[in-house]
Structure 1
Amino acid sequence: MNKDRELALQTVYLLHSRPYRENSLLLNLLSKDLGHISAVAYAGSSRKNSKRAQLQPFSTLQVQLKGKGSLLTLTQIEKAQLPLPLSRQFLYSGFYLNELCVRLLPQNISCETLFAHYHHALTQLEQQISIEPILRSFEFALLEELGLGIDFSVLDEDSQVQESSPDYWYYLPEQGLVSADYERSINKFDRRHLLAIRDGNLQDPDVLLTCKSLMRQVFKPLLGSRPLQSRKLFAYSK
């Protein structure tokens, strides 16, 4: 009979936790080396239990894990930094990033680049930098990680063709960006805005609105009919 193997020390962020069996927690973790993983942690019955107190979102944790299947066991927290002091809209934005990862990231696949993007996004939220560009940049990074990045190459027309290039484009889940001469009764996107988005120029408020609308269309079929709980927080705070 194979015994559980102890894994190397992992640097992780807690994405989500919920009660699991008696005095345990079921955790969704984002690991620098292992990607999105599930783990069980015995946390005791007291809220003052050190492991329970250390398992906080937006805190870099170094943990010891063991196991041989898809559900690991968190045996020890070797080091835990204090959670980033996010508040109000910045806190809700952090929950939004977490929920996207839990809902969309496949488990047990290394995603070191996305881990770096996640860490950077949290750092920017802590600094209370403008929220919308932070969220949009992370969404693009997540799409790339999922192999679903938007192909903007259809906008790259040479100078001879550019004069006749359509001014507006649609986004179709199965096809990507499609010129607006395709008959669809859905939102159209300004080509100039799409070019700015492609180049990472998100300072213009109108470009940001286009980017947000585009991301909503892209993520809608991926998330399905179940609404994001984190979006409700934004609604309640208004």
Structure 2
Amino acid sequence: MEWRGTGILLSVRRHGESSAIIDVFTEDRGRHAGVVRGGTSRKIAPILQPGAQLDVAWRARLEDHIGTFAVEPVRSRAALVMGNRLALAGLNAVTGILVFCLPEREAHGPLYRRTEALLDLLGQDDLWPLAYLQWELALLEEMGFGLDLSVCAVTGTSEDLIYVSPKSGRAVSRDAAGTWADRLLPLPAVLRRQGNAPDAEILQGLETTGYFLTNHLAPDLGSKPLPEARARFVDAFSRTL
């Protein structure tokens, strides 16, 4: 069994004395693991940096075996995060969440393409936080927990939508919220792709998407908590405000 493709390196861990096991996110094969022989060597180790775009060739005797990867660099993103705390935190959040939530060997083409575009914005701190927020919305949608922010869940109006129901993920208008307002999540205009997307609104949006990642997606995947890398990115972003 063998295949070849291009993918985003998500994680690397040592295997034996000189090899490494890597997780790669590909458009057609989803998240796929394999062994890289000599992966800790001086020649190959610098290539195996999370976020790197790789050309990979996977081979195994049987399809359900972990198999081995031969890797060639396509594009390194290490220079984009070097010395940039926000970019590094963002990269770690993206790769950590994908390892956390993606089932093995299940294709998620739209999410792959969005992730590749997001990582290509690393280092552009004026664009990255908004792009990352939109990526989290797309991730929730891909995983089956998409938010419906088009109309009020109670009245059906599309006006003055300022809350999100933490239970249903649907928008709620100011008037419909009533005495329940303090139990609802914020719905800044940026989540509905409206307005000028100021950083304070993006941070509010991350509060809301973070709630659904933590309280809906994570429990659906078992008892594992959401990767701490996500909280570190939000903290790094909040310090720039």
Tell me which of 7, 13, 17 is aligned to 1:18.
Answer: 13
Residue matched to 1:6: 2
Deviation at residue 70 of structure 1 after TM alignment: 4.6
Residue matched to 1:66: 59
Quote the Cα distance in structure 2 between the aligned partners of 1:115 and 1:128.
Answer: 21
Would the alpha carbon gap of residues 63 and 130 (structure 1) be closer, same or farther in structure 2, given more than 3 Å must change?
A: same
Residue matched to 1:55: 48
Q: Report SS of the residue matched to 2:67.
A: strand
Residue matched to 2:170: 177
Quote the Cα distance in structure 2 between the aligned partners of 1:182 and 1:20.
Answer: 56
1:40–1:74: 8 Å Cα contact kept in structure 2?
yes
Number of residue pairs matched? Answer: 224
- Give the alignment's TM-score, normalised by structure 2: 0.77
2:20–2:36: 8 Å Cα contact kept in structure 1?
yes
The 5-angstrom pairing of residues 27-106 of structure 1 reads 27-43=22-38, 47-48=41-42, 50-67=43-60, 68-85=62-79, 86=81, 87-106=84-103
Residue matched to 2:204: 210
Deviation at residue 183 of structure 1 after TM alignment: 4.0
- Give the alignment's TM-score, normalised by structure 1: 0.78
1:38–1:70: 8 Å Cα contact kept in structure 2?
no
Deviation at residue 231 of structure 1 after TM alignment: 4.2
Q: Which runs of 5+ in 1 are unaligned?
A: none
Would the alpha carbon gap of residues 236 and 169 (structure 1) be closer, same or farther in structure 2, given more than 3 Å must change?
A: closer
Would the alpha carbon gap of residues 91 and 31 (structure 1) be closer, same or farther in structure 2, given more than 3 Å must change?
A: same
Tell me which of 114, 119, 122 is aligned to 2:116.
Answer: 119
Residue matched to 1:186: 183
Identity of aligned residues (%): 20
Residue matched to 1:153: 150
Q: Which runs of 5+ in 2 are unaligned?
A: none
Deviation per CA, 1:84-131: give whole Å up to 9, x if none: 411321111011000110101122111221111111111111333343
